[in-house]
Each structure stands twice: as structure tokens, then as C-alpha cells.
């Protein structure tokens, strides 16, 4: 645990008692703060009270009196589409609003660092797609070279559940827009922006607000190095804002679509090869085509981002390349779960939006595509050009029929994962890929994309055992 610094003796309110809320409450208490918690769910309050935490209605008379800070969990809106009533009351009362990420950055450095040979560093990764894989890949590379490291944030552990950093350690954080938009302290040493595509637009009141939430990691954080994906206009604009000129190598531009040129620092992937250029000269190259844990152009973009971040930390190209080959990928993200009789079964349940599903489809040929679920805002129009490699779609979800009508590929309404996997497996031929890439949220049938992916794996195992 990382005890929170700077709030000793202060009264701090915590709203939301999920993973981050409980973690923040523990860390605040360990740092000497007087914590009062609240969650609308009675079971969550009971769990907190069982740990010795004090719960109280934050909308009660005088509940926010003398409160130094309100800590809000990521899923609780504070501005759009409408502020949570407790957040609105805090803002009205002039109480600063923060989250566990802000507490982490204000508390990470300690006096013990004065005795370290190498100060610990933080690599923070944000973006619409690929941030989990990029974060995990950076962590894997650091583990491969024997560097002390920890992984946390939107992936793995809560940030305040991390162990205090040791000499030379690197902490890798995956940060969502919900986390970056509210944190009062953001001071990463290396910050990564993978890409930007429409997502969470209701929470941010449109693309402008969504981009602004991501941008805070760089504008507020002032990282020593910024790794920026420039395949979208927003990334190019951000790189331009951060750079003092074409040769400013504090900004490392990355692309999975084209060759980058100029006097600065660039990392790009074309036709399966990653290249690094600095000051107009090539200084590194990796053949990505045979790396099973990083299939497709979208994973090549993740590879470029992780490579650039690790180069910013001083790692050599050949060391990074060796680590790429031992990376197994993440569950539910282009994860090969079986390969039998020439048919490959791939779990990409994390492809919860149109853009990520399109990238998954582009990574394979001869696809038996399992898709469907709770459709997101904007429809499925962005998938029209991506379906060229789809032999047939098998649609799941409560609105499967409506979903299927929007597809250009041949589609069969299955409804359930069990039926979809069984039918796809029965019809698959040698060279086919049975791919779960839903292009939709899971909440119509599952409580998370992880549960959906686990069901896919279970159904594949069931079919193959018959």
C-alpha cells in the first residue's frame, strides 16, 4: 500500500466503494486522514464497515462541513451527463474533488528516494484502444530485462495498492479518460497516447470533451517524454502542442499506418516491420510478423508505443525485440485460445466498440465472426469496409436480429454464445479463424467483457471436447 501524504488529520470523504474507493479509503487511513465513506449500495457499505471504515450519507446535514477533499470513483459522473448529487454538493461547498490517481501522484515519492541510486519512474498509458496491451507489454519488457516494476491503474491493481517503490523501479499505469479527467495531480515521467476513437461520448459530452480528458495527462502532467500516436488528427495536434519544433525529441511520434520522417524521434510499423528513426537516421528495426502475441496492425501500433516508451527509459532495441517474442498477449485481447485441425479460435472480447472490432477483423483472414451485444452510440457503419475477410457472422445478444441487419457479411442470428460457438465451429474449415470481436458492450448478457470472453473460451473447450 502507498499511504496518502499531505492529508494527515484532514477529514476526507470517499464516494463509491468499489476497488478504487476501498483502496483509497485504506491508503488515506494509513496516511492519517479521517475518512468518511459512502456508496448507494448497502452491500458495499457493509463490506467497508467490516474493514473498520466509517460510512455516512454525504448528502446529510453538515456531511461536507470541514471536508478537505472528496475522492470519487471512476464510474461516478462529476460533470456530464449530469454531476452526481454528492459531487454537485461538494462543488457548491467549494470542496476539491479528486480521485485515487491524484492521490497516488501526490504520495508516490517519499524521503526514502533520497538514498536511491536511481529514482523510481512512472510510465502512464492512455488512449481509446490498445492501452491495456501497451501497458502490459511495457511491463513485460521491463520484467524481461530484470528491472523492478509494477503494473496498475485501469488494469491489474489499484494504484494505491501498489508497494512503495524500490531503487530504480518503474511503475506502469493504464489510465482511462475517467481517471485522467479528474486527477488533481498527474506527473508521469513518460506518458503514452495510443490513439483516439469515439467512446464514452455521453460521459464527456462529445469528442472534444473526451479528447480534453486524455490531453490532461500531457498538459497537466508535463512528462519528460511523450509518446504520441499520430494516426488521428487529435494525436497530430497533441504532438504539435507538446513539441518545441520538428527536432524536439521529447516527443516520440508513432504510427501503424505510414512511414514517419523528419529530424525528430519516430517509431512506425509498415508491412509488419517496426522501424525507429532519430535525427533522420534509422537506429532500430524489428520484424513483427512472426510474433503471435501481437497480431495485426492494431497490435503493431501497441508494439510501437511500448517500444518507444521503453526506448525512452533507456532500453536497447534488441532487448525489447527479445521480450516481444515471449509476450503471450492479454486475455480477451486477440488471445488465441485453441488451434485444432487448422482452425484457430481467438478471443477478442475487449473489442467493445466499432473501431477495435474493425482492427481485430483486419488482423485475420477467413473469419467466422462472433459479434453482437449492447450496441454503442453511432451504429455499426464503421464496420462496413472491415467485413471483407468475414466468411460468416454469428450474432449474439438480446438485440441480435437488429444487430445482424446492419452487417454486410452473411449473418446468422444465434442469440447465445453457446449456439454461436457451436455453429461457427461446425461450419469452420481448415484455415478459418473463429473470432469473438463483439463490436458492442457486454452488459445485455454479461456483467463485463471478461465474463463474456470466459464464456467464449468455455464454449470453445466444450465444442472441442465433444
Give the integer Cα–Cα distance in Å for 439 and 411: 15
pLDDT, position 432: 97
Strand 170-174 to 54-55 pairing: unpaired
128 is in an annotated binding site: yes
The CATH code of domain 335-465 reads 3.90.190.20
pLDDT, position 210: 95
Q: How many CA within 13 A on the CB side of residue 190?
A: 25
Total residue count of the chain as it appears in this document: 466
132 is in an annotated binding site: yes
Nine cell digits for residue 260: 514517419
Strand 367-371 to 433-436 pairing: parallel
Paired strand residues for 225: 190
Q: DSSP code of 157?
A: B
SS3 71: strand
Q: Which CATH superfamily is domain 11-98 in?
A: NAD(P)-binding Rossmann-like Domain (3.40.50.720)
pLDDT, position 382: 82
Give the integer Cα–Cα distance in Å for 153 and 161: 10
**Among the listed residues 87, 101, 18, 27, the one whose alpha carbon sits nearest the alpha carbon of residue 58:** 87
Compute CA distances 435 → 200, 244, 408, 422, whole Å.
25, 44, 17, 13
Is CATH 3.40.1190.10 correct for 104-325?
yes
127 is in an annotated binding site: yes
Number of separate helices (H) and strands (E) present in the chain: 15, 20
Q: Are 302 and 133 in contact, with CB atoms under 8 Å apart?
A: yes
Nine cell digits for residue 15: 464516494
pLDDT, position 292: 82
What pTM was estimated for this model as a whole? 0.86
pLDDT, position 26: 96
The low-confidence residues of the chain, meaning pLDDT below 50, are none
Extract the runs of DSSP E, i.e. beta strands, from 45-96: 54-55, 67-72
Q: How many other C-beta atoms can be found within 10 angstroms of the C-beta atom of residue 247?
A: 13
> pLDDT digit string (tens) for 190-214?
999 999 988 788 899 999 999 999 9
177 is in an annotated binding site: no
Where are the chain's structural domains? 11-98, 104-325, 335-465
**Among the listed residues 355, 369, 456, the one whose alpha carbon sits nearest the alpha carbon of residue 411:** 369
**Among the listed residues 362, 392, 393, the one whose alpha carbon sits nearest the alpha carbon of residue 295:** 362
Q: What is the dihedral sign for C-alpha 46, 48, 53, 59?
A: negative
| 324 CA to centre of own chain | 19
243 is in an annotated binding site: no
pLDDT, position 201: 83
Q: DSSP code of 374?
A: B
130 is in an annotated binding site: yes
**Among the listed residues 315, 332, 312, the one whose alpha carbon sits nearest the alpha carbon of residue 144:** 315
Q: Are 101 and 161 in contact, with CB atoms under 8 Å apart?
A: no
Amino acid at each position: 500500500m502507498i499511504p496518502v501524504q499531505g492529508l494527515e488529520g484532514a477529514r476526507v470523504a470517499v464516494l463509491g466503494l468499489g476497488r478504487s474507493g476501498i483502496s483509497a479509503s485504506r491508503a488515506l487511513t494509513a496516511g492519517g486522514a479521517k475518512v468518511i465513506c459512502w456508496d448507494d449500495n448497502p452491500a458495499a457499505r457493509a463490506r467497508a464497515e467490516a474493514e473498520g471504515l466509517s460510512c455516512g450519507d454525504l448528502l446529510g446535514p453538515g456531511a461536507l462541513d470541514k471536508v478537505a477533499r472528496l475522492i470519487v470513483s471512476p464510474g461516478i459522473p462529476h460533470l456530464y451527463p449530469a454531476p452526481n448529487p454528492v459531487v454537485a454538493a461538494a462543488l457548491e461547498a467549494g470542496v476539491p474533488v479528486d480521485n485515487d490517481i491524484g492521490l497516488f501522484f501526490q504520495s508516490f515519492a517519499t524521503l526514502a528516494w533520497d538514498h536511491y541510486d536511481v529514482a523510481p519512474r512512472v510510465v502512464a498509458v492512455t488512449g481509446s484502444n490498445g492501452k491495456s496491451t501497451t501497458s502490459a507489454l511495457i511491463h513485460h519488457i521491463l520484467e524481461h530485462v530484470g528491472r523492478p516494476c509494477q503494473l496498475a491503474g485501469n488494469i491489474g491493481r489499484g494504484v494505491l495498492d501498489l508497494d512503495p517503490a524500490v531503487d530504480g523501479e518503474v511503475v506502469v499505469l493504464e489510465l482511462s479518460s475517467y481517471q485522467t479527467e479528474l486527477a488533481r495531480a498527474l506527473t508521469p515521467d513518460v506518458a503514452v497516447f495510443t490513439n483516439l476513437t469515439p467512446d464514452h461520448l455521453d460521459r464527456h459530452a462529445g469528442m472534444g470533451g473526451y479528447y480534453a480528458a486524455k490531453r490532461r495527462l500531457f498538459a497537466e502532467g508535463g512528462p519528460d517524454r511523450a509518446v504520441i500516436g499520430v494516426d488521428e488528427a487529435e494525436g497530430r495536434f497533441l504532438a504539435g502542442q507538446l513539441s518545441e519544433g520538428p527536432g524536439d525529441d521529447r516527443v516520440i511520434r508513432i504510427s501503424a499506418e505510414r512511414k514517419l520522417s523528419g529530424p525528430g524521434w519516430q517509431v512506425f510499423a509498415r508491412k509488419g516491420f517496426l522501424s525507429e528513426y532519430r535525427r533522420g537516421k534509422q537506429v532500430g528495426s524489428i520484424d513483427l510478423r512472426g510474433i503471435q502475441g501481437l497480431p495485426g496492425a492494431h497490435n503493431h501500433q501497441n508494439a510501437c508505443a511500448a517500444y518507444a516508451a521503453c526506448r525512452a527509459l533507456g532500453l536497447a532495441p534488441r532487448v525489447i525485440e527479445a521480450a516481444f517474442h515471449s509476450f503471450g498477449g492479454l486475455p480477451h485481447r486477440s488471445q488465441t485460445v485453441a488451434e485444432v485441425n487448422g482452425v484457430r479460435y481467438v478471443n477478442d472480447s475487449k473489442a467493445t466498440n466499432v473501431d477495435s472490432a474493425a482492427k481485430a477483423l483486419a488482423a485475420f483472414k477467413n473469419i467466422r465472426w462472433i459479434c453482437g451485444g449492447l450496441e454503442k452510440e453511432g451504429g455499426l457503419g464503421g464496420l462496413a469496409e472491415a467485413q471483407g475477410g468475414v466468411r460468416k457472422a454469428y450474432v449474439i445478444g438480446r438485440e441480435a436480429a437488429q444487430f445482424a441487419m446492419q452487417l454486410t457479411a452473411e449473418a446468422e442470428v444465434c442469440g447465445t454464445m453457446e449456439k454461436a460457438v457451436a455453429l461457427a465451429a461446425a461450419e469452420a474449415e481448415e484455415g478459418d479463424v473463429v473470432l469473438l470481436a463483439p463490436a458492442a458492450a457486454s452488459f445485455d448478457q454479461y456483467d463485463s467483457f471478461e465474463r463474456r470472453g470466459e464464456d467464449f473460451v468455455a464454449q470453445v473447450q466444450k465444442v472441442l471436447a465433444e
